[in-house]
Structure 1
Amino acid sequence: MVRAQAEPVTLAALVSLSGLHANTLREHLDGLSRMGLVERHSAKPRGRGRPAALYQATDNDLEPMPEYAGLAAALAATIHRTSSAPSDDAADAGLEWGRDLARARGAAPSRSEVVARREVVALLEELGFAPRTDSRVSTVRLTRCPLLEAAYRYPEIVCAVHRGLTQGALAAYGGDPDNVELIPFAEPGACLLHLTADSAG
């Protein structure tokens, strides 16, 4: 979302664009800043009070450390070789991971399905998936994969983990995980993630 802005943007503007609570966005922005993906600086003073903080994406791309990418590939290979239901086992692992990630970010069930979906998209952005979505957050284009090489080799495992991750996080934020459908490599340069029943094929 920050990367899509042509100019540095305020927290208030991001709240308006995303529909997320300011505290939630601030936590995500702090995380992206620690990862070197977002810079924060102050706007020029206007009258009294503290100048607004401006956020801008850096030129850095989030790439997994080679050893972690290698570890992911090794784990996927092990599941592929030893599991009688590799896709199901991978999805279960992703489900737990998604719940843990959401809880670590202070997830609380939302009364709005749209807000819950926006929280998940914000999490996916923080994880490096570069999500692009519509206004209802019903269909999400994942334009980057942090584990692309492993996903090409073991799509039924790596993509199942990512589907489970989305389901676990969505459930933690109060959304309906049963509506999640992930279509790997659905179009050039992107996977498609459906978060609502009417967006799924």
Structure 2
Amino acid sequence: MDAERLLVPEASEEGRSRGGSRAAILDMLRAADDPLGIREIARRTGLHQNTARFHLEALVASGLAARAAEDRETPGRPRIGYRAVAFGPGGGRQYRLLSLMLASLIAGTMPEPAAAAEAAGREWGAYLGEKPPPFQRLSAEEAVAKLTGIMRELGFEPHAAAGADDGQYRLQLRQCPFLEVAREHRDVICALHLGLMRGALDLMRAPVTADELAPFTEPGLCVARLTAHDGAQ
């Protein structure tokens, strides 16, 4: 069955309306030379940004679109955009397969796979993060908010909350973009994400550390434990 026929049910007028919006977004992605961000899609379609995000994530889940870094000429971390997936042999599964292949390579050949993955994550976290201006000091709350935004742009559905103890934060991460690979190679993927958070916080000169990432505390939920230091909370 054609993957586009699976986008939404056709049984109701509401379903047809959602399908029309989603098909229009898919056409935009296919016509674009570069990945399009949520704001651009919302502007072109007149949809609310949350609605545009909902349709884009549905297209990703259906294998019709993929997340990609938008090209930018100014310094700073690239925003996450969306592009259409060209169907051919293997369909939209090639990136998931590539992720699985690379994760298995690290797990099978590195003497310390988790350490290697965390080190790679730190480098990418420093690349994707945003360094504050000289002499500017972020509060713990500001740093956690920026980290939450980075994880959202990477495809997670994050939610940060202060814990019962002073200086403790819990960053809940749902909708892992590498969920299927993480289930097979948890030590690699989760260490990569923990390193990414640590690298981003280091770049921000944040008074916060990412202490641990507890995977699958509930189905589809991972929790990062963060700690603010020196009264920064």
- Which TM-score band applies after superposition, normalised by the shorter structure? 0.5 to 0.7
Against the structure 1 CA distance between its residues 31 and 175, is the aligned structure 2 distance closer, same or farther, given a 3 Å change threshold? farther
User: Is 1:90 the counterpart of 2:114 in the alignment?
Assistant: no
Structure 1: runs of 5+ lacking an equivalent: 1-29, 44-53
Counterpart residue type for residue 107 of structure 1? K
Displacement of 1:179 after TM fit? 3.6
Q: Could you state the TM-score of these two structures normalised by the residue count of structure 2?
A: 0.58
Q: Give the match for residue 221 of structure 2.
A: 190
Q: Give the match for residue 67 of structure 1.
A: 94
The residue matched to 1:84 in structure 2 has which SS? coil
Larger RCO (CA under 8 A, 6+ residues apart): 1
Against the structure 1 CA distance between its residues 197 and 144, is the aligned structure 2 distance closer, same or farther, given a 3 Å change threshold? same
Would you say the 8 A contact 1:94–1:165 is kept in 2?
A: yes
For residues 68 and 177 of structure 1, what CA distance do their matches in structure 2 show? Answer: 33
Which of the residues 108, 131, 141 maps onto 1:107?
Answer: 131
Equivalent residues in 2 for 1:39-188, closer than 5 Å:
39-40=42-43, 55-58=49-52, 59=54, 60-61=56-57, 62-63=60-61, 64=66, 66-102=93-129, 106-108=130-132, 110-134=137-161, 138-176=169-207, 178-188=209-219
Which of the residues 12, 30, 39 maps onto 1:33?
Answer: 39
> What percentage of aligned pairs have identical amino acids?
32
Displacement of 1:152 after TM fit? 0.4
Would you say the 8 A contact 1:141–1:191 is kept in 2?
A: yes
TM superposition outliers: structure 1 runs of 4+ over 4 Å: 62-65
Structure 2: runs of 5+ lacking an equivalent: 1-35, 67-91
Q: Give the match for residue 27 of structure 1.
A: none
Query: What is the count of residue pairs matched by the alignment?
Result: 154
Displacement of 1:97 after TM fit? 0.7
Counterpart residue type for residue 115 of structure 1? E
